[in-house]
Amino acid sequence: MTPSEKSVAKPFLDFYTTHNIIPTHQDISDIESHVFRRNYLYRTLGLPPSLLKNKRALEFGPGTGDNAIATSMYGLDTYDFVDGNPSSVRELRRKLDLGLIKANTTKVAETNVYDYRDQVKYDLVIAEGIIPGQDRPKEFLNHIASFCTLGGIAVFTTTSYTSLLAEICRNVFRPAIVSEKKSFEQQVQIASNIFRDHLSTFSVSTRSIEDWVTDNILHNWLVSHSQVFSLVDALDTFGDRFQFYSSSPRFLVDYRWYKSVRRASPDFNGIVREQYHNFSALLLDYRVKQETIQRSQIDREWALRLEELCKQAFDIHLIICHDQNFNSLMNFIDTLHSISHILPAEMGETKSAITDYTHGIRKIARGEIDHQFGAFRSWWGRGQQYASFVREV
């Protein structure tokens, strides 16, 4: 642990229970669009609705239950939930009582996931937006995956230093926003005013700005390296016990003719390891297209260098957020310049975003809080990726 790293006694839960909130509401006013998006996600993960009919599902950290509304439309037999935040559980129970979340049987356990015990096994185990951020993510994943039946599927989210970089840049605003002299509501207001323009660059908005800034800026959820949990970390955790099934976005390709694949050939986990680093540039900026990467001949070594530099930026961001001042800002900016320097010309939008950020953040540090951030506003990484794995033993 570096001097800047601190630990949170109970990641997520401490912040949510202190403020008595669950700031992860999805906009479900247009329920058909919500269900369409979730169906797309589940199909990408290899889970068409028919596969889940009459099956048993267990969801860890359902939050508001908005996503569970869509999952429950698949006609599950059993849909059980585990969440340790009373506000989440309240909201989930409300939706169950209203019949918005349906299954033949449902059960809600209000407890810390680490403490949850049951002999029951499930066809589908879901852990969305909850593993990265835990202090012991490997132990956490092993625990939740132990509830999968043989042949069952675990769906969860991962992050990487590269996918988090754009978010890390936004976290660096914290010393200008968070202060004991301001009430929590004032801080939400200040952050909303700053980031409204950034979020509006997305063509779709599924969360309120207030929820987003509360959950991502005021909630200092990344306080140590151990909380960054990547797809490769998931492979390391599972070994041969689970096999990679699919991901969203679907990065990987397997062109092999099935008859040519032998027992000694690389398995699905091996394919992920072989190909994962090719996709770093896609993780850095959601606007980057795969053709761009192919054209610019990015290789594994480049990807590892990028991940290393993003890790360095993460390190300095920990110091800034921990010390609550901008004394280390120049180190952070220097690292961003190094990142921009290695990006291929084809990633011009990302380079411009970094340039505008490094100008802007200096002004923020000087107290010019209403500075506009130009091209930086529309730079977002693929913060979290979804993965599905099948239990083998």
Ligand X SMILES: C[S@@+](CC[C@H](N)C(=O)[O-])C[C@H]1O[C@@H](n2cnc3c(N)ncnc32)[C@H](O)[C@@H]1O
Q: Binding segment for ligand X among 10-18, 30-38, 147-155, 252-260 (CB under 6 A)?
A: 10-18
Kindly report the length of the chain: 393
Query: Residue 129: CB partners within 8 Å, gap ≥ 6?
Result: 24, 61, 63, 157, 384
CB of 95 to ligand X, least distance (A): 13
Binding to ligand X, residues 125-154 (CB under 6 A): 128-130
* Cβ burial 329-346 (10 Å sphere, 16+ → b, else e): beebbebbeebbeebbeb
CB–CB of 70/101 below 8 Å?
Answer: no
**Rounded CA separation 67/13 (Å):** 19
Q: How far is the CB of 371 from ligand X (least distance, A)?
A: 29
According to the binding rule CB under 6 A, does residue 124 interact with ligand X? no
- Residue number with CB closer to ligand X (214 or 269): 214
User: Both tokens of residue 40?
Assistant: 């797309």
Contacts of 86 (CB under 8 A, 6+ apart): 17, 20, 110
Among residues 24 and 230, whose Cβ is nearest to ligand X? 24
Between residues 65 and 360, which has the closer beta carbon with respect to ligand X?
Answer: 65
Q: Dmax over Cα atoms in the chain, in whole Å? A: 67
Q: How many CA atoms lie within 13 A of 148 on its CB side?
A: 26
Interaction of residue 62 with ligand X, rule CB under 6 A = yes
Kindly write down the DSSP assignment for every residue of 355-366, as one continuous string: HHHHHHHHHHHT
Give the nearer residue to ligand X in terms of CB position, either 38 or 56. Answer: 38
Which of 15, 38, 47, 83: binder of ligand X (CB under 6 A)?
A: 83
Q: Of these, 105, 112, 179, 325, which contacts ligand X (CB under 6 A)? A: 112
Among 72, 88, 158, 340, contact with ligand X (rule: CB under 6 A): 88
For the CB of residue 135, give the shortest distance to ligand X in the complex, in Å.
9
If binding is defined by CB under 6 A, does position 230 make contact with ligand X? no
The interface region with ligand X, picked from 112-120, 263-271, 294-302, 337-345 by CB under 6 A, is 112-120
Alpha carbon distance 279, 386 (integer Å): 14
Q: How far is the CB of 139 from ligand X (least distance, A)?
A: 11
Question: What DSSP string runs through 173-222?
Answer: THHHH--TTS-HHHHHHHHHHHHHHHHTTSS---S-HHHHHIIIIIS---
Among 28, 61, 198, 280, binds ligand X (CB under 6 A): 61
The contact set with ligand X (CB under 6 A) reads 11-13, 16, 22, 24, 61-63, 67, 83-85, 88, 112-114, 128-130
